[in-house]
Structure 1
Amino acid sequence: MTYDTGLESPSGVGSKQHRLFWFELLECARRGHRVVGTDAARVRSEDGLLVKDFGDGLRWHRCLRCDSWLPLRSAAQPEREFPPGREEVEIPLRGKPLRDRYVLRLIALDRLLHFLVLGVLSVGVLAFAHERRRLSGAFYRTMDLLQNGIGGPTGRSGHGLLGELSKAFAARSSTLWAVGLVLGAYAVLEGVEAVGLWLTRRWAEYLTFVATTVLLAPEIYELAEGRITPTKVLTLIINLAISVYLLFAKRLFGLRGGGKAEAAERERDTGWSALERVLPGPSR
C-alpha cells in the first residue's frame, strides 16, 4: 500500500543529490511524505531500497518523493506479509518534472489573471458599445456638472478624463464592437493557456510561447518610444523570462533534443532509476 503520511515537516535521515531548491521537499511539506510497506508484517532484503528493519520495533521508510528516511513503528495488525513489489508501486512526480510543474502552474496563474482582466474589459467595451447612445446625454450632463463644481472646463474640451471619454463616445460602433471582440478572443486564448499549463500539456507550452513572443515586439516598441512605466518594464521582464524558460528548459521546436529528450529526462527523474541513483540512508 502506498500513501501519504500526512507529516508536516519533510525532515528525515539519508543522503540526496544536491539541488538548488528541493521542490520535492516543498511538495512533501504540502501533501505529506509518500512511503510504502507500513502495513507489512516482514521486510525482505530486496525491500531495502524503500524499507529497512533493524529489529527494534522501528522501521525506516524512504519517501518516494523527497528521499527522506522516516522512522515508523511496525504495524500492530499487518495487512500483508511483505512490502509491495515494484509493479505495485507508483512513483510520484519528482526531479525536474516536478519543478517544471510548479513553474508552469505559476505561469498559468499569470495567464489566469490576464484572462480575468481581459474578460472584464471585453464585457465592459461591448456593454458600452450597446448602451452608448442611451448613456451619452447623461454622461455629458453629469461631467459638466462635476467640472463646473470644481471650476474646470465644461463641454467636450478634449482634455483630461473628459476628453478621453469623449473620444470613446465619438468612436464608431463598429470600432467598439471590434475592440470588444478582439479583447474577448484574447481573453479566451489566455484562459486556454492557463488550463493547458496547469495540466502541464505540451501543446500549451507551444501556444504560450508563440502568444507571448508575438507580444514582445509591441512591448519593446513602446519602451523604445519613451513610454516607460514600472508596469510595462515588469511585464516585459516577465514575458521575456517565460519565453526563454519555455524555449530552453522545455526544449521547444526541437531545441536541446526536443520532445524526445524531454520525455527521456522525465523518465530518468521519475522512474525507479531515479531512486536507485540516490544511496539509501539509514544504516547500523
Structure 2
Amino acid sequence: MGIDWDRRACARRGHVTYAPREEKLRERLRAVTALGEAWRCLRCGDFVLGAPHGSGPADAAPLVPRGKALRDLFVLRFLAVERVIRGLFIVLVAAAVWKFSNSQDAVRRLFDEYLDVFRPVAVHFHYDLDHSPVVGSIQKSSGYRHSALLLVAAALSAYALIEIVEGVGLWRAKRWAEYLTVVATAAFLPLEVYELTEKVSWLRIATFVLNVLAVLYILLAKRLFGLRGGRAAFEAERHSASLWEVRTMAGTARTR
C-alpha cells in the first residue's frame, strides 16, 4: 500500500479550504451537513466542517502542494536536512582547526614531552619512534603555520555557511536556494571525482551519486537556467496550479 502524501500532509499541517467566487465551482466544493457547512480540502479532497480559510477568484486560490508537487517538496526537504547536518559537522571541524591553531605550541610541547618519556620503552622493543610514520604525521601537522590554519578554519566556516543557507532555503522551497544548491554542488563535483581516484569508499561513492542526482533533479524539476521553458514556464505552471486544484476538487466532488 502506497503512502498517501496528501492526507499525511493534512494530518501534520491542517486542511486548506477555499471558496471560489465562481458559483458552479463554489457549489461543488461546498456541502451542507447536520453540523453545518463543510468545504472540500484542496490538498486531500476531504470535506472539512467550518467556514473556508479563504475566498476569491478560482485562479487566486492558494497554491497547495499535492501529489507530485508534494513529493517534490519532500525531496527538497530531505536535501535540506542533509545540507544542514553537513554544515553543522563542518562547523565543528572548523572550530577544532581554529582551537588547534591557538594551542598549537602547547600541543607540540606536550607531545614532545611524552615522546621523550616513551622513547626508552620504544628502544627496548626495537621500535624507532623518530622514524615512525604516525609520529611523523603528528609532528608535520603540529608544524603548520598559525596563519595557514586560520585560513583553513575560515574556508571551512564559509563552506559550512553556504551549506546551512542552502538547507534553510531548500526547506522553504526558495528558488534562489535551488540555484545556489546547483551551482555550489556542481562546483565541488570535480573535487569528489579526484577524491574517488585517490581512494574509493562506499561513503564517497554514495555522496557523489547523491550530489549528481540532486543537481539533475533540481535542474529539470525546477526548470533552472532556461531548461524546459525556464522561469516563465515554471511561473506559468505555478499560476495555473491553484486553478487546477480548485477545478480538480470540484470535479471530484461532482463525481462522488
| TM-score computed with the length of structure 1 as normaliser | 0.73
Alpha-carbon deviation of 1:23? Answer: 3.2
Identity of aligned residues (%): 32
Aligned residue for 1:159? 133
* 8 Å contact from structure 2 (residues 98, 153) kept in 1: yes
> Across the two proteins, how many residue pairs are aligned to each other?
246
Q: Indicate which of 152, 170, 187 corresponds to 1:179.
A: 152
Which sections of structure 2, spanning at least 5 residues, go unmatched?
Answer: none
* 8 Å contact from structure 1 (residues 193, 208) kept in 2: yes
Alpha-carbon deviation of 1:144? Answer: 6.5
* 8 Å contact from structure 1 (residues 213, 243) kept in 2: yes
Higher helix share: 2
Residue type at the aligned position of 2:172: L
Aligned residue for 2:92? 120
What CA RMSD, in Å, does the superposition of the two structures yield over aligned residues?
A: 3.3
Q: Output one character per residue of 1:163-214: Cα deviation in whole Å (capped at 9) or x when no partner.
A: 4322210222232222111111111111221222222221111111011011
Aligned residue for 1:254? 226
Aligned residue for 1:51? 30
Alpha-carbon deviation of 1:251? Answer: 0.8
Matches of 1:191 and 1:60 in 2, distance apart? 42
Alpha-carbon deviation of 1:272? Answer: 2.7
Q: Residues 50-199 of structure 1: matches in 2 within 5 Å?
A: 50-53=29-32, 61-69=39-47, 85-86=55-56, 91=62, 93-95=64-66, 96-142=68-114, 148=121, 153=127, 155-160=129-134, 162-199=135-172
Alignment CA distance shift 1:183-1:84 (3 Å): closer
Q: Output one character per residue of 1:253-279: Cα deviation in whole Å (capped at 9) or x when no partner.
A: 00001111111111222x133220342
* 8 Å contact from structure 1 (residues 158, 166) kept in 2: no
Q: Residues 209-220 of structure 1: matches in 2 within 5 Å?
A: 209-220=182-193
Query: Aligned with 1:33: secondary structure?
Result: coil
Aligned residue for 2:248? 277
Alignment CA distance shift 1:268-1:144 (3 Å): farther
Matches of 1:83 and 1:193 in 2, distance apart? 32
Q: Output one character per residue of 1:212-263: Cα deviation in whole Å (capped at 9) or x when no partner.
A: 01111121222234x1111101101110111111111111100001111111
Which sections of structure 1, spanning at least 5 residues, go unmatched?
Answer: 1-19, 38-43
Q: Residues 198-237 of structure 1: matches in 2 within 5 Å?
A: 198-225=171-198, 227-237=199-209
Query: Aligned with 1:67: secondary structure?
Result: coil
* 8 Å contact from structure 1 (residues 50, 61) kept in 2: yes
* 8 Å contact from structure 1 (residues 28, 66) kept in 2: yes
* 8 Å contact from structure 2 (residues 61, 246) kept in 1: no
